[in-house]
Every structure is written in C-alpha cells, then in structure tokens.
Amino acid sequence: MIASLTGRLASKHPGGVVIDVQGVGYDVLIPLSTYYRLPDPEQPVALTIHTHVREDAIQLFGFSTSREKDAFLMLLGVSGIGPKLALSVISSLSVDDLAAAIRNDDQKTLASVPGIGKKSAARLVLELTDKVEKLGAAGPRAAKADEPSGKLMDDALSALVNLGYKAADVKDVIKQVLAGRNGDTPLQDLIRAALQELAK
C-alpha cells in the first residue's frame, strides 16, 4: 500500500494532481482543502496517501495533513459513504467544521454537502459522535493566496462541478459572489461563499 508520495508536482486541478516520483506519474484525487495548499507546478510536493482498492480499480487519495486523511478514513467507516462522497465532505467542510457539526448534531450543515441528504447527515452524527474527538485540535491555519480573476472563476467553477453541481447553476452564483466583493477574492473564500449560496 502507498502511504505517502514525495516528488515533483507535474500538474494540478481542483480535485486531482499528478505527482512525478522519479519518472513515474501518480494520479492522485484530492479534496479542495489540499488543492489550496499546493505549490506551483514543477515544485516539490509531499502528500499523505490513502490507497483505495476496488475490484476494478486502485485509487490514490492525497491529503496535505494527516488530520484530513484521518477525517476521510473516519467518513469511509460510515455505512453508505464511499471515497467520492467522503472527499466531497472534506472539500466542503474543514476538519474543524466537520467535527463541530457532528459534535453539535448540526445536520443542516452536514446536509449542505453535495451528495449528503438528511438521512446521510443523521447517519454521520449517529455513527461518528464517539469517534470525532480522535481528530484532535486544529493546527495553525494556512495562509490564503490571491488568484487572478479569470483563472479564479474557472478554478471555482471546476471545483464546484467536481463536487457534483451543474455548471449552469454554478456560474451565476460565482458571478453573484464576485460582484458583491471588492478587489481580489481568495479561491477558498469564493468557493465557500458559493457553497453557502447554493445551500440556501
């Protein structure tokens, strides 16, 4: 099993990266929280990895922190939650927000994640309340980098489509959020604001 990868960041997009390790390119699925912390392409990168083996495929899931990986594995332990849905949860909610939602029985927040309905939200609270303390406390928050506006729109659109929203529904919401803000908006803030609008 592959537990971590360290190499050159060959390419990245919201939802995935290719890491070149001594000439071998590994295709790794990632949450948005990890995407925000990635360096520029061609720079060194290290991710902690979960290797998911199915009958028809082997998939690699990468995380910039062990807490994200722990949360992902915890979500996989819930009946009815597969890796794609677990990644969607980690992309939509920070580990701290996820832990707080479970601890406080905040099913509305959990149900705002694409693919998680009321029943799944209730199941998450029921099955994870006793386990959520294992995630521990948060470390220092990563600094947010500003992005150019045209690329910002494309990245936000791509990220939200990866989460399961339709491009047509998302475009107007992103424009609406950008129109209401002055100056540059970090990608993470834009996606979070768009998710809040879409959840209304």
pLDDT (tens digit, 9 = 90+) per residue, 129-146? 888 877 765 443 333 334
Same structural domain for residues 153 and 180? yes
Same structural domain for residues 73 and 52? no
Evaluate whether 157 touches 170 at the Cβ level (below 8 Å).
Answer: yes
List phi, psi (to 5°) of 168.
-60, -40
Would residue 140 count as lying in a domain? no
Per the model's pLDDT, the better-predicted residue between 83 and 170 turns out to be 83
Show the tokens assigned to 111.
């149900």
CATH number of the domain residue 24 falls in = 2.40.50.140
Residue bearing tokens 């929280």: 33
Strand partners, 6: 46
Would residue 35 count as lying in a domain? yes
SS (H, E, C) 135-147: HCCCCCCCCCCCC
Same structural domain for residues 95 and 131? yes
Would residue 88 count as lying in a domain? yes
Q: How far apart are CA 156 and CA 197, in angstroms?
A: 14
Would residue 37 count as lying in a domain? yes
Name the DSSP class of 60. Answer: E
Would residue 142 count as lying in a domain? no
pLDDT at residue number 150:
65
Q: How far apart are CA 200 and CA 187, in angstroms?
A: 20
Look at the chain and report how many structural domains it folds into: 3
Mean pLDDT of 166-179: 78
Helix axes 149-162, 187-199, angle to 10 degrees: 50
Same structural domain for residues 105 and 127? yes
Q: How far apart are CA 7 and CA 185, in angstroms?
A: 30
* pLDDT over threshold 50, residue 41: yes
pLDDT at residue number 47:
96
Same structural domain for residues 14 and 31? yes
Q: 38 falls in which pLDDT band (50, 70, 90)?
A: very high
Owning domain of residue 117: 66-135
